[in-house]
Amino acid sequence: MSGSDLLFMPASQAAALIRKRKLSSVDYVEAVLAAIDRAQPKLNCFVTVMRDEALRDARLADEAVANGEAIGPLHGVPVHIKDLIDVKGVKTTHGSAIYADNIASKDDILTTRLRQAGAVIVAKTTTPEFGVKGMTDGPSFGITRNPWNLGRTAGGSSGGAAAAVAAGLAPLGLGTDGAGSIRGPAACCGLVGLKATLGAVPADTSRDAFGNNVYAGPLSRTVTDAAIMHAVLTGPSPRDPWSQTGEDRRALSPTLVSGDLSAIRIGYVERTANPRVSADVLKNTKACLDAWDAMGADIEEVTDAIDWIEMDGRILYQANFAVFCAQFLPRWQNQMDPVTLAFMERGAKFSVADFRNAQFARTALFRQIQTLFERYDFLVMPTNTRSALPVEFDAANDEVEVDGVKSGITRLGWNSYQYPFNLTGHPALALPSGFASDGLPTSVQIVGKWGAETDVLRLGGLLEQARPWTHLKPPAL
């Protein structure tokens, strides 16, 4: 098997080969580490590479197979973890100089679950400071670049994970998503990215457990890999109240068992809070809809007047950072990301009434989306309005250009399709939809009913079969 074949092999296939003793985890991890050495100077997608620990765990994985021990679904497979999530004995910097020397004292529950599934953790991936923006750069580590075009962003805030998976530097990355931070990077880098239902994957370290809008989930090249990793991560935790329902969230709807979608209703949302969407994205999104239509799905454009609460969402997001980060200003202000500081400044101007009204608006949006799901099984829309932005784009102040027209800041002009479902809690899956005229990937987003991740993944899997993308690779680095 060639080096490229190994690096771009799906995690599901690699795990099967390791289980059958046709692939050594050590050989696999060594190949990934060598590829990281080659790509990291250009992509800058890792904060820490756990070389010694990864090789140790890979040897143990091979020994477990040789000894006939019980093994998990990701046994011996290399994965990396975003630098907002703790790995014991390794730095969790949160993308900030403030935490440059912060060594985690224990594994996060999601790290633990990945280890229990047999995964070999090879690295921590970059994130903007506290995951604050939709691009991955910052004064403490520099710029993370897109492997499809080094002059473009990998998205954010899970841009390091997305760049790494797209470049073949492990088949799976664990990201987080507070306003699109898994789906946006997936869109930029031509990947699959899943934000699950609120509570399906526990968020043990959330500062506001009851008002949480931050989710963890997979970035992968295939829908199957995303589904496997999601299944590993799910389940209740005593520290997350939303995870306590005990509901089996993985049952597949009978209407999706085959490739016949004649019982499925899809609502197509062309725009949310964004004033426009690029012609390339529209063309590719409609090609995806055509693929589902050919399978029998009933597709209808959503014409309901939905208030997508862009300003209320902005209030909730920026006010949270203003309060949380205020403690750091006396000592660290000069070393913080200017975008963090700009969001804090804006957030500090909102009143308590503004914040409470925004919380009420969040509830109203949830109910509007629930009403749509009385008619539709899925909502489908673009993931971003256009392809990846230039790396020099100022996420705090610049306006996004869509087909040459200035269309507002990122929340309006670029990733407006993402944040609403952080607020409503519905599962949302980003999938490759094709390429724009600039050669960068575009993406389509599937939104499902609460708890319907398996249905969402199934619909995505059918698209993957109809419009294959896993054979496509970014230019050699």
Concatenating the DSSP letter of every residue in 254-306 gives: GGGSSS--TT-EEEE---SS-S---HHHHHHHHHHHHHHHHTT-EEEE-----
Q: What's the total number of domains in the chain? A: 1
19 assigned to some structural domain: yes
Structural domain span for residue 125:
3-466
Instruction: Give the percent of the chain with pLDDT over 90.
Output: 97
- For 227, the 3-state DSSP assignment is helix
For residues 167 and 186, what is the distance between their CA atoms, to the nearest angstrom? 12
267 assigned to some structural domain: yes
Say yes or no to pLDDT of 248 above 80.
no
pLDDT score, position 3: 77
- The CATH number assigned to the domain holding 20 equals 3.90.1300.10
For residues 332 and 326, what is the distance between their CA atoms, to the nearest angstrom? 10
Q: CB of 352 within 8 A of CB of 322?
A: no
pLDDT score, position 4: 84
Mean pLDDT of 181-188: 98
* Count of residues making up the chain: 477
From the list 82, 124, 133, 195, the catalytic residue is 82
For residues 172 and 233, what is the distance between their CA atoms, to the nearest angstrom? 13
276 assigned to some structural domain: yes
Q: What is the pLDDT of residues 270-329, one digit of tens each?
A: 999 999 999 999 999 999 999 999 999 999 999 999 999 999 999 999 999 999 999 999
Question: pTM to 2 decimals?
Answer: 0.98
Say yes or no to pLDDT of 1 above 90.
no
Say yes or no to pLDDT of 246 above 60.
no
For residues 405 and 245, what is the distance between their CA atoms, to the nearest angstrom? 46
253 as an active site residue: the answer is no
Q: What is the pLDDT of residues 111-170, one digit of tens each?
A: 999 999 999 999 999 999 999 999 999 999 999 999 999 999 999 999 999 999 999 999
| pLDDT averaged over every residue in the chain | 97
346 assigned to some structural domain: yes
pLDDT score, position 247: 56
Which pLDDT band holds residue 251 (cuts at 50, 70, 90)? confident
473 assigned to some structural domain: no
82 as an active site residue: the answer is yes
Quickly count: other Cβ atoms within 10 Å of residue 102's Cβ. Answer: 14
The residue assigned the tokens 């005990």 is 246
26 assigned to some structural domain: yes
Measured in whole angstroms, how far is the alpha carbon of residue 376 from the centre of its chain? 24
476 assigned to some structural domain: no
Which pLDDT band holds residue 245 (cuts at 50, 70, 90)? confident
Mean pLDDT of 96-124: 98
Quickly count: other Cβ atoms within 10 Å of residue 313's Cβ. Answer: 23
From the list 25, 181, 278, 387, the catalytic residue is 181
Tokens of 468: 């294959």
474 assigned to some structural domain: no
pLDDT score, position 431: 98
Mean pLDDT of 25-34: 98
Say yes or no to pLDDT of 47 above 80.
yes
From the list 157, 220, 278, 433, the catalytic residue is 157
88 as an active site residue: the answer is no
pLDDT score, position 126: 98
Which pLDDT band holds residue 109 (cuts at 50, 70, 90)? very high
Q: What is the pLDDT of residues 383-441, one digit of tens each?
A: 999 999 999 999 999 999 999 999 999 999 999 999 999 999 999 999 999 999 999 99
pLDDT score, position 476: 78
